[in-house]
Amino acid sequence: MAVLDIILAPDPILKTPTTPVAAVDDRVRRLMDDMLETMYAAPGIGLAAPQVGSLDRVLVCDVAGKDEEPRPLKFANPTITWRSDAVVTGQEGCLSFPDHYADVARPEAVRIAYLDETGAEQEIAAEGLLARCLQHEIDHLDGIVFTDHLSALKRSIILRKMGKLKRTRRAA
């Protein structure tokens, strides 16, 4: 396994929709494992393939608490098949926008159809933090980042700071 570099916004890769994988093969399984290792190292609770430079429709997440056993989840070709009418607002962050957090309103619960690491079709019902995380990751797979849900003013403030961060990181 390997810890991969996480792409920082703004970057055209983060705005590009992904392509479904043709099959969950060893290449896709290695990508899932590398993404989990990268996510745990960051640390984060989810990671989408575009954040590590891949346009495969793949995400991983683990919302287990610090004192719990890890619960890694791996998804290929996820699609949201149901959204609750109830919407909740919660704070989100993104590893591609380090140190930026903002409230985002999303459906409280979702159902998601996907292929697991063996290629078998699965469907999962999610609520709470898992539902929020999976919606955030599926947005990434569609070329959408959490700042796209904010007001133009909040988005432009964060993007300006990200531009500065990338410039100082390059100079370092």
Instruction: For 133-171, give one letter per residue: b (16+ CB within 10 A) or e.
Output: bbbbbbbbbebbbbbebbeeeebeebeeebeebeeeeee
Alpha helices (H) along 6-98: 26-41
> Per CB under 5 A, which of residues 18..77 are in contact with Ni ion?
none
- Angstrom distance (rounded) from CA 61 to CA 121: 18
Q: What's the min distance (Å) between Cβ of 87 and Ni ion? A: 20
93 binds, among Ni ion, ligand GNR, none (CB under 5 to 8 A by kind): ligand GNR
Options 45, 59, 94, 162; binder of Ni ion; rule CB under 5 A: 94
- Does residue 74 interact with ligand GNR by CB under 6 A? no
Q: What's the min distance (Å) between Cβ of 1 and ligand GNR? A: 18
Q: What's the min distance (Å) between Cβ of 119 and ligand GNR? A: 24
Annotated catalytic residues are 137
